[in-house]
Structure 1
């Protein structure tokens, strides 16, 4: 990018929702409330998973990882957006944009892989219940979680380097509320066909391979549930998977829309509101999805609250 490393380049202007000033105050209030609930909900899941021995299982180990991911993901984006919506500062430094893209993309890629790992965990729990602890020992769970983080951030490093090698020719007005690859590609003053093809290929690997694993896992789960004779047993087996399946549908649906459609079909306004959904709405409702009908989590919450009440 011309002037990128020069003194005249100070960073990017995040236009966000500047074309809708009447919407900015409403969004500020709504996003602040959502962000607080996101922090509270995911922190509660992490705390309960560590405090209650009954939740020291692979399922809740991965769930606490997912909650930590959601906490970090929203925190890498929403505070900056709230500052932007307040009118205080709509600029982000070049280094700040690089860091935000690397961290947010790394966390998003990690969540893609982790949701696939969680589907495999549910498959083992439903289809191989007697061998569950043997197939999913703590060491293997830690290894799969670590691999998810490593692959996610390795892909993010590659994508971040490639996008910021593009010449921007002094263009610094980013029509988005965060530094995201589809929006950054629009600033490039050269042909980005190769970059778009590489991004599409990487997105297919990061998104569709876990989706294929999830489909295979749930295919086995459906077959196993269909062999259960009692209706109560079927409901119990399905209940262990319904929450994860709901989260998967919400997360992958928005991610695939954002990253796997042709760039000429990509509406920037649609992109902003889709990005709002997967950066704040999905991380906020994930704890609710996992706790509303989960007897283990509700029981752990009652025990922790009752213990605190008794200690007084």
Structure 2
């Protein structure tokens, strides 16, 4: 015998189905946010000493801005910023860090140079490493070899170069650091022709572009030009300006050659690449759309800089 339902019973049944469906969708959405909302990681930023003039090489201001952005999107993260170089407590300050972010002047003045052996112990424990801008340069030899091990590449004098130019990024690899990143272009002091591991072992280029001929107009010098890079640019070889690297033993590293101009952190994609990389090197779960944060205000960009804001010139 067929059962007949009243109009009221049908409405109740439909309402039940709708509520069940919505509850299921909310549960799925909740599950998808669980990782970023509850995941716990410790990130330590090491900001180098004051360097260039206002708005450039702003190590402390840049670290503070990135740290606040990271905490905004990843509330479970414990984020610390150490000012003015190597921590007074030594490597002990980094012993429980999941990733260390270094933003400092490099070359012979790199803050890690005098601490290679003790920092290597931190790296051997699986801690991640992110180096920003001048922080990717260290002298060839023991320190350069350490950087190759820790993050897959570095700026090598008389091999790499540091021109200012507008790099355009159009495609990205299928990698967690690329999540949510859209094509963008930015004028910066983008280093290129980096020294990488042999055969790029364990290295994934994240930001790559073709430098224009104008980047080769300076005379040869430790940072300005050499026969090797001139040949590469003339041949149209694509250059890798940011890269992710896996280390033996499970550690991860990331090098980012941009970051000369502090104002570039206002670019959503420029900033997202960095935040994604920090999470990835900490063995965290990068959200599907990347680490998404609000663009900083002008006041936030001007905060914490090493130099006072220049006075406006009086109009004549």
* Pair in the same fold by TM > 0.5: no
- TM score, norm. by length of structure 1: 0.24
Higher relative contact order (CA closer than 8 Å, sequence separation 6+): 1
Larger Cα Rg: Structure 1 or Structure 2? Answer: 2
Query: Greater strand share, 1 or 2?
Result: 2
- TM score, norm. by length of structure 2: 0.24
Query: Greater helix share, 1 or 2?
Result: 1
